[in-house]
């Protein structure tokens, strides 16, 4: 009888200890949730006008589902020219081929502080493939689009966007510098000047000695954080930040030189 009483007493004590432990865990969980909610609220108050998006606000799989994927799969010239300034054929010419954009993208690791620059690139682990990276950089340099809008189009986070833009700009510059078709240069001989001049005089007989025409182009740019650059790019007439370019074209429609 006494042994039974002791067993019941021990069982009751164990149950009370377990209830106390569960009660303590519930209190601890509530405290943790309260701290996290408080931190999130403080972060929200510190950033009332945050100009970037985070993963929950973006489409989950940027390599398979995004506005860019729809544009790329459509292969429509008008859509490509509207958003990136090139038709599909020209885009693919820059992208594909030996020494072109895709080859450099696929064989060069993206620089990161926690990754060796001499390791093999993890192509399958990238948020964008080569076509997406080229599309990203052409969207960026072809307009004054906000980075938050680029995030929506390509479904990538701010840190990925900044890293990919810097990396892709370097690749594109390398490719275009080596591409004969992309060179902007004045005629290299007197014979070529005469050839261009004859094309003009055949149509306008009084324009002797002319070999090209010039035109101005005002392009919108993002507002720089540097006060001097910001002031230099502000256009009072347009009430916007712009860079004015002067372009020279040959009668063949080829760009000969440009200045800004």
SS in 3 state form for 165-225?
HHHHHHHHHHHHHHCHHHCCCCCCCHHHHHHHHHHHHHHCCCCCCCCCEEEEEEEECCCCC
Quote the pLDDT of residue 36.
61
Quote the pLDDT of residue 239.
82
Task: Give the pLDDT confidence of 70-100 residue by residue, as tens digits.
Answer: 999 999 999 999 999 899 999 999 999 888 9
Task: Give the pLDDT confidence of 116-175 residue by residue, as tens digits.
Answer: 666 677 777 788 999 999 999 999 988 778 888 888 899 888 888 889 999 999 999 999
Reported residue count of the chain is 260
Pairing relation of β-strands 255-259 and 213-220? unpaired
Q: Is the pLDDT of residue 39 over 80?
A: no
| Cβ atoms of 66 and 153 closer than 8 Å | yes
Count Cβ atoms below 10 Å from residue 251 Cβ, excluding itself.
19
| Cβ atoms of 51 and 102 closer than 8 Å | no
pLDDT class for 53, splitting at 50, 70, 90?
confident
Q: Is the pLDDT of residue 34 over 90?
A: no
């Amino acid at each position: 009888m006494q042994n039974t009483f002791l067993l019941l007493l021990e069982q009751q004590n164990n149950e009370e200890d377990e209830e106390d432990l569960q009660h303590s865990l519930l209190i601890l969980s509530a405290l943790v949730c309260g701290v996290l909610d408080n931190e999130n609220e403080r972060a929200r108050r510190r950033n009332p006008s945050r100009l970037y998006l985070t993963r929950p606000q973006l489409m989950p799989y940027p390599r398979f589902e995004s506005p860019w994927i729809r544009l790329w799969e459509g292969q429509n010239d008008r859509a490509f020219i509207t958003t990136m300034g090139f038709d599909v054929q020209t885009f693919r010419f820059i992208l594909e081929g030996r020494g072109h954009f895709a080859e450099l993208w696929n064989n060069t690791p993206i620089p990161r502080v926690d990754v060796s620059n001499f390791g093999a690139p993890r192509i399958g682990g990238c948020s964008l493939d080569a076509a997406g990276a080229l599309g990203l950089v052409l969207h960026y340099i072809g307009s004054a689009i906000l980075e938050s809008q680029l995030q929506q189009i390509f479904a990538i986070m701010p840190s990925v966007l900044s890293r990919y833009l810097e990396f892709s700009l370097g690749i594109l510059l390398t490719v275009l510098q080596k591409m004969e078709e992309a060179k902007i240069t004045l005629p290299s001989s007197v014979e070529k000047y005469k050839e261009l001049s004859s094309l003009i005089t055949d149509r306008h007989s009084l324009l002797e000695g002319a070999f090209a025409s010039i035109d101005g182009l005002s392009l919108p740019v993002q507002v720089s954080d540097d006060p001097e650059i910001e002031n230099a790019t502000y256009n009072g007439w347009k009430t916007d930040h712009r860079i004015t370019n002067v372009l020279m074209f040959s009668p063949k429609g080829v760009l000969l030189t440009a200045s800004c």
